[in-house]
Amino acid sequence: MHALSSSQTADNAIPNATASPGWIVLGVISVGFHLGLIFYGLTPALVSRPLHMALLLPWVLIYIAKTPFQRISGWGLTLLGIAACAYIAFNEAALANQYGFIDTHLQMAIGLFLIMLALEAARRAIGWPLPSVALLALFYGAFGQYVPGAFGHPGLPLQSMVGSLTIAEGGLWGSLTGVSVGVVAIFVIFGAVLNAGEAGQGFMNLASAVAGRLTGGAAKVSVISSALMGSISGSASANVASTGAITIPSMVRLRYPRSFAGAVEAVASSGGQIMPPLMGAGAFVMVELTGTPYTQIMAAATLPAVLYFLTVWVGINAYATHHDLKPVDASERPSAKEVFITSLFFAVPFVLLLERIFHGGYTPQYAASIAIFAGVVLLLFDVTLRFSLPNFANRLAEAVVTAGRQIAVIGSIIICASLVIGVLSLTGLGVKITSGILAFSNDLLWPALLLTALACLILGMEVPTTAAYVICVSVAGPALISLGLEPLLAHLFVFWYALLSTITPPVCGGVFIAAGMVGENWLKVALKAMALGIGLYIIPLAMVANPEVIRLAFNPTGALLDGLKIAAGLTAISFGVIARKAIWFRVILVVAGAAVIFLV
């Protein structure tokens, strides 16, 4: 599990612990607060966002504590942090009139403490890499006037810098934190409620019914179930750990190669973060950064996500040409009645969510709130539709504790990343890096794309996907847009490449977990994962070469035609990379596939 301390979102970074009544109560408070904001109405940013931070502190500072020192220091930091956040919230009106300039020693002490607390909360949640990036940004903000050349800045008064980051609607309390409070938290609660009930079993049963009887059926069940489960969990690591606990033993039982079994699960689970309707936290951050409605982002992401899973499916078929990949035994496949009943546990909330967004015209967070209440009602029933109040209480307790800790971890990541964005804005460093990318790429789009992809891969190795996406798009996005890429396409490009590190060595958290579960050398799993997941490397570039593929909402015919063209090319490339055929034949397939995607 060492790899999770850095690069992966922290659904697994927090250990599962038996929930005490205190944590259940705190989970109820967190869930109630975030749902209440949706129905209460407009709340000032300097009230809701500091209270959001106050609620996440116990989870990341106490709940995950492993030593007495961590627990004692966690209590101290939590109590001081709650007091500091409460100061901001209760003095919101006065602070708003200071326009980000600190004018008392108490405010300076509170501001510096909040910055330190944001770094420490993220460090305890996900390890050092993201706080290290934020710390470097803060040092640049404080001492950048001593940096020679174009990358220096004129200097920032400490009162102005700290104030802008801690007592104004920027930095810690910026728009990204607003997304964490008002949107991400709601969908995290939605996913926690579904996972606490029978929705996970419904995903598995549906996948088994659809693909279990096919050649390589156990692997294809993994692809479908992980796509469905990942669409609500948004975490590759959590997805591997949950669906992999079922799919990996099933593949091993059918004598699939162990490295292949682990690779299938790692690759399929990584796709959850690009799979609508939820796409983890990234889709909602994208709404804020691009100003594009959520429904349009969901439509734009649909075909590329389908193409990704199609490529994995083709890769499984290619492996089946030289391995005896047997279907799932009929005795292990669920009955039609069982599939129908268990599918209701995710179908009802999902249909309600989408109906309220597309037909009702409500915001995604309001629609998700309605779907949450439907999901809570479904917790009253088990897979046999038997009503049980004791089971309901246990499931609801599990849901609020899971939601509380996941909101806290994602919130700590976003708040820490917001420090980086705040410094970039205050110092103009983002503009300077953008200019550097343009100069280094000689104002040419494709070299700039490759530089951006490399930056995403490097940053994503040590920083969770959402944070890597936010930081990379803040500095590289403007360069890509200035070179002619439409904003949404630029953001999708960066977001996809921020995922690379889930399956790409040397830091590939999804692969590490899958390899541990299957008992195989992680490098063997990683090499097969890269071959199966080759679409993750190609599809972002294919989107740039065929931009109609993301315009499903505006030009469905053009989007489908571009999608079919990309699918044909990816099929040839995937088969050429994986199938055991003559080398000359495989090279021809790969070259022909690339030509179809990028030249035709």
C-alpha–C-alpha distance, residues 339 and 224, integer Å: 14
What are the pLDDT digits (tens) for 37-61? 998 878 899 999 999 999 999 999 9
Bridge partners of residue 381, in order along the sequence = 387
Q: Summarize pLDDT for 151-189 with one digit per residue, the tens.
A: 888 989 999 999 999 999 889 999 889 988 988 899 889
pLDDT for the residue 6: 33
Q: What is the pLDDT of residues 564-579, one digit of tens each?
A: 999 999 999 999 999 8
Q: How far apart are CA 37 and CA 34, in angstroms?
A: 5
Residue 109 confidence (pLDDT) above 90: yes
* Residue 168 CA: distances (Å) to CA of 49, 102, 164: 11, 10, 5
Q: Are 131 and 115 in contact, with CB atoms under 8 Å apart?
A: no
Count Cα neighbours of 39 within 13 Å in the Cβ-side half-sphere: 10
State the pTM of this model.
Answer: 0.85
Residue 537 CA to residue 70 CA, distance in Å, equals: 40
**Spatial CA neighbour of 455 closest among 496, 498, 393:** 498
Give the per-residue pLDDT at 234.
61
pLDDT of residue 240: 83
Single out the residue of 411, 410, 405, 376 nearest to residue 393, CA to CA. 376
Higher pLDDT among residues 248 and 115, named by residue: 115
CB 372 within 8 A of CB 186: yes
Examine the pLDDT at 422 and tell me if it is beyond 60: yes
Q: What does the pLDDT read at residue 282? A: 75
Instruction: Assess whether pLDDT exceeds 70 at residue 9.
Output: no
- Per-residue confidence (pLDDT) for residue 1, from 0 to 100: 29
Per-residue pLDDT averaged across 507-513, rounded?
Answer: 82
Model pLDDT, residue 197 = 86
Burial class from Cβ neighbours inside 10 Å (0-12, 13-18, 19+) for residue 416 reads buried
Spatial contact of 280 and 273, defined as CB atoms under 8 Å apart: yes
Is the separation of the CB atoms in 318 and 189 below 8 Å?
A: no
Rounded to the nearest 5°, which phi and psi values hold at 268? -65, -40
Is residue 74 predicted with pLDDT exceeding 60?
yes
Q: What is the pLDDT of residue 407?
A: 92
What confidence tens digit (pLDDT) does each residue in 184-242 have?
Answer: 899 889 988 988 888 888 888 888 888 888 888 888 888 888 887 777 666 677 778 77
Contact between residue 212 and residue 333 where contact means Cβ atoms under 8 Å apart: yes
Q: Does residue 414 or residue 226 have the better pLDDT?
A: 414
pLDDT score at 165: 95
pLDDT at 461 over 80: no
Across the range 66-79, mean pLDDT stands at 94
pLDDT tens digits, 300-329: 999 999 999 999 999 999 888 777 788 888
pLDDT confidence of residue 549: 96
Percentage helix, strand, coil for the chain under 3-state DSSP, each rounded to 5: 80, 0, 20
The contacts of residue 219 (CB under 8 Å, 6+ apart) are: 247, 251, 256, 260, 261, 264, 316, 319, 325
Mean pLDDT of the chain: 88
For 85-93, what is the mean pLDDT? 95
Give the rounded percent of residues in the chain with a pLDDT score beyond 70. 95
Helix (H, G, I), strand (E, B) or coil at 122: helix
Residue 462 has pLDDT above 70, yes or no: no
DSSP state of 254: T
How far, in Å, CA of 143 to CA of 424, rounded? 14
Across 388-404, average pLDDT: 91
Per-residue pLDDT tens digits for 463-498: 777 888 888 898 889 999 999 999 999 999 999 998
pLDDT for 268-295, tens place per residue? 888 888 888 767 667 788 888 898 988 8
